[in-house]
Amino acid sequence: NLSTREIQDLDSAHFLHPFTDYKDLATRGARVITKADGIYVWDSEGSKMLDAMSGLWCVNVGYGRKELADAAYQQMMTLPFYNSFFQTTNVPAVKLAARLSALAPKVGDRSFDHVFYSSSGSESNDSNVRMVRRYWDLLGQPQRKVIISRQNAYHGSTMAGASLGGMSGMHAQGDLPIPNITHIEQPYFFENGLPGETSDEFGIRAARWLEEKILAVGPDKVAAFIAEPIQGAGGVIIPPATYWPEIQRIVDKYGILLISDEVICAFGRLGHWFAYEKFGYKPDLVTFAKAVTSGYIPLGGVMVGNRVAQVLIDKGGEFNHGYTYSGHPVACAVALANIDIMEQELLLDKVRGEVGAYFAKRYAELNEHPLVGLAETSGLVAGMVLVKNKATKERFSSEDAVGMLCRAHCFNNGLIMRAVGDRMIIAPPLTMTLSDIDELMRLIRQALDFTLRDLKQ
């Protein structure tokens, strides 16, 4: 029976949070989230908030799912843990690997018959780096070491994950990137489109930054290109329609591996099990985590396409890499139950159909707001850029901290929406009904109005 203040004091005394300014936390105190149900969470003061971020892009089936708790309980009572090293396996891990392989659509000559498990997106991307390097070594091209990524990408917080990511603040604190990782600019049309350039023209130009980089590095030294289908933590940057087809042409031309980091975009967020299907490209490796279990328990992994898997299997010998929790039986059992829910409730169909269409329509209406430069959606993820002047698209400076102001108005009025610089982003649970969407839009509009009022004062 601790009071909110007592929990906050213990929190700042003992808990070093991720991505947090510790002095600021100690002064203000963390918001203590105590329970959740459906699309709502409650804090220790009893405030109810619509969680439009699905936790951290993961609670796709919503909170309070007894089926997931039951799956975890039953598996814990049967086999709570066993490792998958040294030629042992367990039933949920096997069933899930087969199920994910069946769900991952075959594209062209790529099929995804194999899964490598981890417990998070960051670990999965470390595994990607290991697998990519191993692949080229086994093919007798060990000089192919360079992985190209994008500015403002987020690929996790481990040394390799943060290096693959393009967040300058993370690089500065960790003496990163590690060697042989280099970046190109992101396909952000609102920011980087030229006067008179269409978004389709920009998409081709932005994809060609990859070709320029490959040529600058030397094509025989490039191992892979990694990208999120839609850049999530960077601010929900949705690429123009021409971007991915041109990227595919370029990776094919130089024979380099393509890694699709779908930690946010997979498991229904864009209306598909895997997002490469929506954009029509052919990755060799697909990173997943988060919504594979709807965040109820940690699980991540890599869908390994046949091009890479076959080399690892046929030529590899022992792969000296893996985690204690690779293929954790409880996590895999929860993932199976989570996929059951998504199938039974037709959540992907809803995102591709009525719910996604209504979300897109209502969100597009926010473009009328004087603060909004551009509001865009894809599936059930959305981003908007807040601008000082709608006509000239003049941006706020970082000192204006407009995103944090808007975020505070969201929080104080019952909405969890995330700020990334001058962008506001959401990724609500896939279980949203049409009336939930109306409520969400009312709360967003209200936060925008309060922000505008403060800026005018």
Residue of 8, 75, 90, 120 that binds ligand PLP (CB under 6 A) = 120
Q: One symbol per residue from 261 to 280: x for binding ligand PLP (CB under 6 A), - otherwise; what is it? A: x-xx----------------
Does position 187 interact with ligand PLP (CB under 6 A)? The reply is no
Residues listed for the chain: 457
- Please provide the DSSP assignment of 146-188 as one string: EEEEETT----SSHHHHHHS--HHHHHHHT-SPTTEEEE----
Whichever of 155 and 369 has its CB closer to ligand PLP, that residue is: 155
Place of tokens 């309060």: 450
Does position 222 interact with ligand PLP (CB under 6 A)? The reply is no
Does position 90 interact with ligand PLP (CB under 6 A)? The reply is no
Strand pairing partners for 181? Answer: 147
Residue of 90, 122, 127, 338 that binds ligand PLP (CB under 6 A) = 122
Shortest Cβ 420–ligand PLP spacing (Å): 12
Preceding peptide of 187 cis, ω within 30°: no
Q: Which helix (H) or strand (E) holds 23?
A: helix 22-28
Does position 429 interact with ligand PLP (CB under 6 A)? The reply is no
CA atoms of 33 and 416, how far apart (whole Å):
12
Q: One symbol per residue from 276 to 315: x for binding ligand PLP (CB under 6 A), - otherwise; what is it? A: -------------x----------x---------------
Q: Which helix (H) or strand (E) holds 375?
A: strand 372-378
Whichever of 63 and 288 has its CB closer to ligand PLP, that residue is: 288
- Please provide the DSSP assignment of 282-332 as one string: --SEEEE-GGGTTTSS--EEEEE-HHHHHHHHHH--------TTTT-HHHH
Preceding peptide of 177 cis, ω within 30°: yes
Radius of gyration of the chain (CA): 22
Strand pairing partners for 285? Answer: 259, 304
**Window of 82-90, 115-123, 183-191, 310-318 that interacts with ligand PLP by CB under 6 A:** 115-123
Does position 146 interact with ligand PLP (CB under 6 A)? The reply is no
Does position 155 interact with ligand PLP (CB under 6 A)? The reply is yes
Shortest Cβ 153–ligand PLP spacing (Å): 7
Does position 233 interact with ligand PLP (CB under 6 A)? The reply is yes
Give the binding site for ligand PLP (CB under 6 A): 120-122, 125, 154-156, 228, 232-233, 261, 263-264, 289, 300
